[in-house]
Amino acid sequence: GVEIKKEDECGSCHGDGVKTQIKQTEVKLPSGIKDGSRIRVSGAGDAPHITTSKTVKAINGDLIIRIRVQPDSNFKRDGRDLIYTSEIPMTTAALGCIIEIPTIEGSKIKLRIPSGSENGRTIEIPNQGVPINDSMNNRGLMKVILKIKTLRPINATQTALLEAVADAFGD
């Protein structure tokens, strides 16, 4: 070992051989990284608290970063797939139409809703999910789940129209 006398201590490390300081390190996170994943940055961790000499070298440890992904208000993640729930009125579900769906990048895509769609129906959109192996060209699915809103008549005209539709369909 090496002994450092009190009078030989430096003002920055106080004889420990290392000085505590805060350091920033820039790390590239791969796209599509999962919550709870860990990234290791070799040599960016703490230095050991040992005294160095000509024969003793101190090597910094590794920095381990644990990833916490903030949940998105629009999307849920299921492995490589993104799940989006779209609320549509029952008339839209019955007649069919084209709706706009947001993507994880912030743009919108047009999605055709077939006539006669039922509550809970899932429509899969390929290559709009989570990137696989940090590749934006290879991605999972976006699964759009339809949630049908039942209309409530608020006046006599709407009630009469819904009753006429019910009669026409034998309901």
How far apart, in whole angstroms, are the C-alpha atoms of residue 123 and residue 51? 63
pLDDT at residue 1 in the model: 55
Query: CB-based contacts of 33: which residues, under 8 Å, 6+ apart?
Result: 67, 69
pTM, two decimals, is 0.73
Strand, helix or coil for residue 42: coil
Low-confidence residues of the chain, pLDDT below 70?
1-4, 13-18, 49-53
pLDDT at residue 31 in the model: 86
Label residue 104 left, alpha or beta by phi (over 0 means left) and psi (-120 to 50 means alpha). alpha
How far apart, in whole angstroms, are the C-alpha atoms of residue 75 and residue 33? 15
Asked if residues 7 and 30 have their Cβ atoms less than 8 Å apart, the reply is no
* pLDDT, tens digit, 9 for 90 and up, residues 121-140: 999 999 999 988 877 788 99
Q: What is the mean pLDDT of the chain?
A: 87
pLDDT at residue 143 in the model: 97
Asked if residues 131 and 31 have their Cβ atoms less than 8 Å apart, the reply is yes
Strand, helix or coil for residue 6: helix
Tokens of 1: 């070992």
How far apart, in whole angstroms, are the C-alpha atoms of residue 167 and residue 171? 6
